[in-house]
Structure 1
Amino acid sequence: MRVARAQKVIGMPITAQEMSDVFARLALPAARDGDAFVVTPPSHRFDLEIEEDLIEEVARVHGFENIPAHPPQARAVTHSPAESTRSLHELRERLAACDYQETINYAFVEPDWEADFAGEQNPIRLLNPIASQLSVMRSTLMGSLVANLRYNHARKLSRIRVFEIGRSYRRDAQAPDGELTVAGVAQPMRVAAAAFGPALEEQWGVATRAVDFYDVKADVEALFFPRCPRFEAALHPALHPGRSARVMLDGAAVGWLGELHPRWQQKYELPQAVALFELEASALMQAPLPRLSQPSRFPMVVRDIALLVDARVSAQQLLDAAEAEKPDLVRDLQVFDLYQGSSLPKGRKSLAFRVVMQHTERTLTDAEADAARDALVALWGRVFAASLRT
């Protein structure tokens, strides 16, 4: 037994003479060999086999109560989170408020899931998977959620709403190596959810209907609030080609939203449409600070406008043009109706807008409200060749 080693393990400077006295009290033959003791345990002390056993004997006889307790000391630093950021826990609370249940899934999945839901033919493969089918790292959370839906539907659940917050994995030559990162592999945190079955629990107040694209779109908008994401029609390998959208925030793509592709719905034995979304958690965690504004004491004036426009012009294009050049009196502008039918000219559609106008210092007159409405109609007519529907 080395003296220095015993002092380090015990945590106090017990002298070599005190250690020798301990061995003498225990009737253990011990001889000094430089800075160590050579101890020959008697045959009945079969518990003394290694150096640590002798160190334990020294500490026991010396008295555990005599060993001083030195609590660890560290500089306490208070970290206050920025007011403009949300935590992942807050995102979980928002999703729970939207009636979703949280799931936790493996980050390694079946290769077919990557091919079906991410279009990934060469995913990151595991050298020693825990099961032969779970052999690749996921680049999307959609496959795991579809598996959750399939599992629960097989157990006779008719309404299923699940979400997951977890990491996805994809190759990225720019990803650095670090304590929690691997060179060449990006590991972004993502938020995904899937809804299946009726939009609401069965009740007397509302007729039963299946959940659809717009139900989940409302949940996405609730997650981002008070920021306003944009939705652009786009194709995704996991989603229905006519019911999918790329989610945009400040001009950058931050996720996807849509209904599951009918091909995968049939393959994974789901009898109804599945609405789902997947978003970058970093985009959801950013939130602007609240700004105070004094509400006007004067009444609002509302005007509805029904336009005939080219069928290829989106409502968002009209809203963007109005936002850039709208009169100062206009406080809000919303789309509330879309009509396409044989009664309209070929290649045209009807979009109806609700315009809310208000002055902060006085009551608006009908002439002022009509002038603001006419200014919007003239703007849309100039930019999109739109005309009032009569």
Structure 2
Amino acid sequence: MKVSENWLREWVNPQASAQQIAERLVMGGLELEIEPAVAEPSQQVVVGRIVSIAPHPNAERLRVCTVDAGAAGMPTIVCGAANARVGLLAPCALPGATLPGGVKINVGDLRGVESQGMLCSAKELGLAEKSDGLMELDAEARVGQPIEQYLGLNDQILNLELTPNRGDCLSVQGLAREVAALYALPLSRPRVKSAVVVHDQRFAVELESTTDCSNFSGRVINGLNPKAHTPDWMRERLRRSGIRSIHPLVDITNYVMIELGQPMHAYDADKVKGTVRVRRARPGETLRLLNDADIKLDHAELLVTDDNGPLGLAGAMGGAASAVSATTTRVFFESACFGMQAVAGVGRRHKITSDALYRFERGVDPELQRAALERASELAIQICGGEAGPITHVGRTQPEPVHVRLRRSRLVQLTGQEIQAREVEALLSRLSITLTQEDSGAWMARVPSYRHDLRIEADLIEEVARLYGYDRIPARPYAAQLAPSRPSERQRSGARVVDLLVARGWQEVLNLAFEERRMHEALTPQIHAIPLDNPIAETHSLMRSTLWSGLIASWLHNRARQVTRMRLFESGVCFADVDGHIVETARLAGLASGTVASRQWGVPARAVDFYDIKADVVALLETSGAPIAFHAAEHPALHPGQTARITLGGEPAGWIGRLHPRVARALDLPEQPLLFELDWTALSQARMPAPGQLSEFPSSRRDLSLMVPSDVPAQALCDLARQAGGVHLMRANVFDVYRADDGDASAKSVSLELHFQDASRTLTLDEVDAAVAVIAQSLHQGFGATVRA
């Protein structure tokens, strides 16, 4: 937001330069910079009046003007502007003048006629980016007066970059309140005269919800002069605020918005029919905006309507059908307070921006509407004439008061400074915060309606600190009171999990917790996703239901930059709607693609496969001490036959597999990466350290080759072997799987490696053979396995 220094000083005038004011505001928490009102001021340019005009003898498009320049005499100036006419007041650059860009004005010969100066446009003076003709000045301009003095160009602009919580400073009034508080000065508010009510014409107003619109004030003004134009002083103030002049009535609403902070809208009253309503959009409704964009109102947008339909997008932009024009003689001014939540996201959804929307999204004072309407009425009657009608006001007469408790002990604790109670009360009173002393010594503070950012105790403490002065609070070490904690040995920290994956060659990524609908429908269609009311982009319209969506996006981003070998992982929270309740689940997920190892001479290149990432998953889970199992299963996003459901101690722990070809085609992916996703609950488990006896005696190993039906999982064979092997069986692992080439797919050969050991003695051959026989018998009974000769 841009604010003129001269305009600001009409409200509060500290004995300080603009630079000093800016520095004080920066120390008070507002970011801004100073820039001149005009980049390159013009010199020796005065107000001139065209006295006579004659055609140029040698150029059809040029005319010879005699200009009254006051004390500078009556120079003859050749001009080609279409709007040059007798009696016109315009800037006149005299010989010797310098215009922006270093243009010097001298007496010159233009097609045989001597020109003793130049009549200027707003662009030539550096006051506009483009101009259609001479800059037309008001009739009140004094001939011969320097243009810099007439337009008050000796000014500086405070260009503020406000944080979203300081919407109260988005006006001259708001910034003046801040300066007055920082300098402990009174505020000089302009006196606004209430309009004399001459007629009784009004529009009935209805609010569908006071949550969406807490206050609505409106007034009809008749008998406006359609030929009126915006005065120079107002146009210039709007220009310095970054707003171009459009139409007197529109300029008035913009002026009031910059001055007081209340966005307003002007409707042509002859185009408004019946009752004015503030309501949500109905299915199928459309609206043509002032920028000629046609929008579909499919998201229950907040509207201002009449009996014929939408008049405008509430808090954002008016409709073209009800806009004021050069023929408007009756206006209906709207001054309303639309809720922050009601208008949030409208601009991004429909790709529109406006100064009004910028302010409503950050909060507008709910007590400001009538005052702003009276100010706009005063300016409209002053500039355009007309007769005012009564104000129609609907909604809450007073907003709900906000009270916040402030404790002295907490103030000292957070600031580290003992501030006297009397000084605390004086500092907060500068912000119109009234304090009531409680018996306990604390205060109950009543927050003014325009400070939407003051809702908790810490907010008030921050206000005290910045008004007291951060530079007055000494820097010194403070004793921190930390309660010692004793973490459970059964819990594994996230840092240890991350370190383990990094040590195994994986790289951590961090993505936003959102995903696009296309990604969700491809990866987790079985989960009911949570849509965002106010997404930052269409590609982030849902809360993520899986970490894979972010990993795939990161993978594609890096792959497009010629990174082909990747091991990416992310830990974070996923979201789902379960029976109307939002459920958050902490997970860890990974994506692998490319070759197993970087390019080198020692080993031939090989693409990463299922078992490579399975080894990493096992390394993550094995510290829990619980049995890890991989069961063939189906997942909508993973390849059939290359997918496993992971269990830890018999409980579901996650998924592993290759991306489904159908999903890869749907997402237009160049290949099918390998993925895993684990619940953080399983990863956080750790085995309790316990002492164990080390055997001094050798172990015995037996290999058992079995013919089993091809649909028997190897995991099931190992589980049953461990159950039947007795106390001496230490390990049972699969080390070979073989399928015959004769076309028989009904059976396969699986070889198990069995390790036997006793801590107190060496096992005999008969004991080991007997244990192997029991295992073989159990596998035969359980799965029809036969020992292969």
* TM-score bracket for this pair, using the shorter chain length: 0.7 to 0.9
User: 2:762 & 2:578 partners in 1: Cα distance?
Assistant: 58
1:98 corresponds to: 504
Which of 598, 605, 622 is equivalent to 1:201? 598
Asked if residue 110 in structure 1 is aligned to residue 547 in structure 2, the reply is: no
Which of 337, 341, 352 is equivalent to 2:740? 341
Instruction: Select between 340-349 and 254-263 the one with higher mean Cα deviation.
Output: 340-349
Q: 1:356 to 1:344 in 2, by over 3 A?
A: farther
- Alpha-carbon distance, 1:137 to partner: 0.7
Q: 1:13 to 1:164 in 2, by over 3 A?
A: closer
Asked if residue 328 in structure 1 is aligned to residue 734 in structure 2, the reply is: no
Which of 681, 685, 698 is equivalent to 1:299? 698
2:111 corresponds to: none
Which of 551, 563, 567 is equivalent to 1:161? 567
Q: 1:234 to 1:71 in 2, by over 3 A?
A: same
Which amino acid counterpart does residue 541 of structure 2 have in structure 1? Answer: S
Deviation digits for residues 240-266 of structure 1 (CA, Å, limit 9, x no counterpart): 111111111222212111001112333
Which of 345, 354, 361 is equivalent to 2:753? 354
User: Does the 8 Å CA contact 1:150/1:269 hold for their aligned counterparts?
Assistant: no
User: 1:350 & 1:344 partners in 2: Cα distance?
Assistant: 14
User: 1:59 & 1:264 partners in 2: Cα distance?
Assistant: 60
Which amino acid counterpart does residue 218 of structure 1 have in structure 2? Answer: A
User: Does the 8 Å CA contact 2:528/2:576 hold for their aligned counterparts?
Assistant: no
User: 1:376 & 1:122 partners in 2: Cα distance?
Assistant: 46
- Alpha-carbon distance, 1:389 to partner: 0.7
User: 2:643 & 2:691 partners in 1: Cα distance?
Assistant: 36
Q: 1:341 to 1:170 in 2, by over 3 A?
A: same
Q: Which has the larger radius of gyration?
A: 2
Asked if residue 242 in structure 1 is aligned to residue 242 in structure 2, the reply is: no
User: 2:772 & 2:744 partners in 1: Cα distance?
Assistant: 24
User: 1:364 & 1:251 partners in 2: Cα distance?
Assistant: 32
User: Does the 8 Å CA contact 2:547/2:570 hold for their aligned counterparts?
Assistant: yes
Question: What is the SS of the residue equivalent to 1:256?
Answer: strand
Which of 618, 637, 645 is equivalent to 1:221? 618
- Alpha-carbon distance, 1:374 to partner: 1.8
Which of 370, 373, 382 is equivalent to 2:769? 370
User: 1:242 & 1:130 partners in 2: Cα distance?
Assistant: 38
Deviation digits for residues 317-342 of structure 1 (CA, Å, limit 9, x no counterpart): 22222222213322111111111224
User: 2:670 & 2:658 partners in 1: Cα distance?
Assistant: 13
User: 2:658 & 2:724 partners in 1: Cα distance?
Assistant: 35
2:783 corresponds to: 384
Asked if residue 129 in structure 1 is aligned to residue 535 in structure 2, the reply is: yes
User: 1:199 & 1:254 partners in 2: Cα distance?
Assistant: 25
User: 1:303 & 1:138 partners in 2: Cα distance?
Assistant: 49
Which amino acid counterpart does residue 299 of structure 1 have in structure 2? Answer: P
2:554 corresponds to: 148
User: 1:129 & 1:93 partners in 2: Cα distance?
Assistant: 34
Question: What is the SS of the residue equivalent to 1:187?
Answer: strand
Aligned-residue RMSD, C-alpha: 3.1
Q: 1:93 to 1:69 in 2, by over 3 A?
A: closer
User: 1:263 & 1:99 partners in 2: Cα distance?
Assistant: 29
User: 2:477 & 2:745 partners in 1: Cα distance?
Assistant: 82
2:490 corresponds to: 84
Alignment of 1:22-101 (within 5 A): 76-101=482-507
Which amino acid counterpart does residue 605 of structure 2 have in structure 1? Answer: T
Which of 415, 420, 426 is equivalent to 1:12? 420
User: 2:728 & 2:526 partners in 1: Cα distance?
Assistant: 50
Q: 1:304 to 1:131 in 2, by over 3 A?
A: same
Deviation digits for residues 132-181 of structure 1 (CA, Å, limit 9, x no counterpart): 2211111101111111111111111120111101111111348xxxxxxx
- Alpha-carbon distance, 1:355 to partner: 0.9
Structure ranking higher on relative contact order (CA contacts 8 Å, 6+ apart): 1
Q: 1:376 to 1:207 in 2, by over 3 A?
A: same
Normalised to the residue count of structure 2, the TM-score between the two structures is 0.40
In structure 1, stretches of 5+ residues that fail to align are: 2-7, 20-34, 36-54, 175-183
Asked if residue 282 in structure 1 is aligned to residue 681 in structure 2, the reply is: yes
User: 2:730 & 2:609 partners in 1: Cα distance?
Assistant: 30
Which amino acid counterpart does residue 636 of structure 2 have in structure 1? Answer: P
Q: 1:292 to 1:203 in 2, by over 3 A?
A: farther
User: Does the 8 Å CA contact 2:515/2:543 hold for their aligned counterparts?
Assistant: yes
Asked if residue 190 in structure 1 is aligned to residue 552 in structure 2, the reply is: no
User: 1:212 & 1:109 partners in 2: Cα distance?
Assistant: 27
1:31 corresponds to: none
Deviation digits for residues 213-250 of structure 1 (CA, Å, limit 9, x no counterpart): 11111111011122342111111111111111111122
User: 1:306 & 1:223 partners in 2: Cα distance?
Assistant: 30
Which amino acid counterpart does residue 334 of structure 1 have in structure 2? Answer: N
Q: 1:125 to 1:293 in 2, by over 3 A?
A: same
Q: 1:377 to 1:69 in 2, by over 3 A?
A: closer
Question: What is the SS of the residue equivalent to 1:382?
Answer: helix
Instruction: Select between 209-218 and 117-126 the one with higher mean Cα deviation.
Output: 117-126
Question: What is the SS of the residue equivalent to 2:539?
Answer: coil
Which amino acid counterpart does residue 141 of structure 1 have in structure 2? Answer: L
- Alpha-carbon distance, 1:76 to partner: 3.6
Instruction: Select between 324-333 and 155-164 the one with higher mean Cα deviation.
Output: 324-333
Deviation digits for residues 14-53 of structure 1 (CA, Å, limit 9, x no counterpart): 59xxx9xxxxxxxxxxxxxxx9xxxxxxxxxxxxxxxxxx
Q: 1:344 to 1:113 in 2, by over 3 A?
A: closer
User: Does the 8 Å CA contact 1:124/1:137 hold for their aligned counterparts?
Assistant: yes
User: 2:599 & 2:519 partners in 1: Cα distance?
Assistant: 32
User: 2:468 & 2:508 partners in 1: Cα distance?
Assistant: 50
User: 1:72 & 1:298 partners in 2: Cα distance?
Assistant: 61
Question: What is the SS of the residue equivalent to 1:356?
Answer: strand
Aligned residues between the structures: 334
- Alpha-carbon distance, 1:121 to partner: 7.4
Normalised to the residue count of structure 1, the TM-score between the two structures is 0.77
Which amino acid counterpart does residue 552 of structure 2 have in structure 1? Answer: V
Question: What is the SS of the residue equivalent to 1:240?
Answer: strand
User: 1:318 & 1:232 partners in 2: Cα distance?
Assistant: 12
User: Does the 8 Å CA contact 1:212/1:274 hold for their aligned counterparts?
Assistant: no
Question: What is the SS of the residue equivalent to 1:322?
Answer: helix
Which amino acid counterpart does residue 97 of structure 1 have in structure 2? Answer: A
1:261 corresponds to: 660
Which amino acid counterpart does residue 614 of structure 2 have in structure 1? Answer: K
